Amino acid sequence: MSSSSSSSSSTELTDTAYDILKVLGKDADFLYDTIETYIKDAQRANKPQLVEIWQTIKEDRKRHMHLLKEALEREIHG
């Protein structure tokens, strides 16, 4: 992902920062859109065990996003 241009290295996105941003974007989409649909589907199907599983996955993904957010801040600020 790194650019071969050396004109403005301060605006370049490192491969590692890009990787973090990409996963954060996917996780955010999953957390704030997709998983809610899965939870509602399980609730409508009267499957409380499945609702619990999806909620656990949601909490785990939130924790992962927090870890990645902290990692991104370290990437940006050094």
CA gap 65, 49 in Å, rounded: 24
Residue 3 lies in a domain: no
Query: Is there a domain that residue 35 lies in?
Result: yes
Higher pLDDT, 8 or 74: 74
User: pLDDT (tens digit, 9 = 90+) per residue, 42-74?
Assistant: 999 999 999 999 999 999 999 999 999 999 999
pLDDT at 4: 47
9-34: average pLDDT: 88
Is 64 a domain residue?
A: yes
Residue 14 belongs to some domain of the structure: no
Q: Is the pLDDT score of 14 beyond 60?
A: yes
For residue 7, tell me if it sits in a domain: no
Residue 47 inside a domain? The answer is yes
pTM: 0.75
Give pLDDT, residue 1: 52
Which residue in the block uniquely carries the two structure tokens 């899965």?
A: 38
> What is the extent of the structural domain holding 68?
24-77
Residue 11 lies in a domain: no
Q: For the chain, how many structural domains are there in total?
A: 1
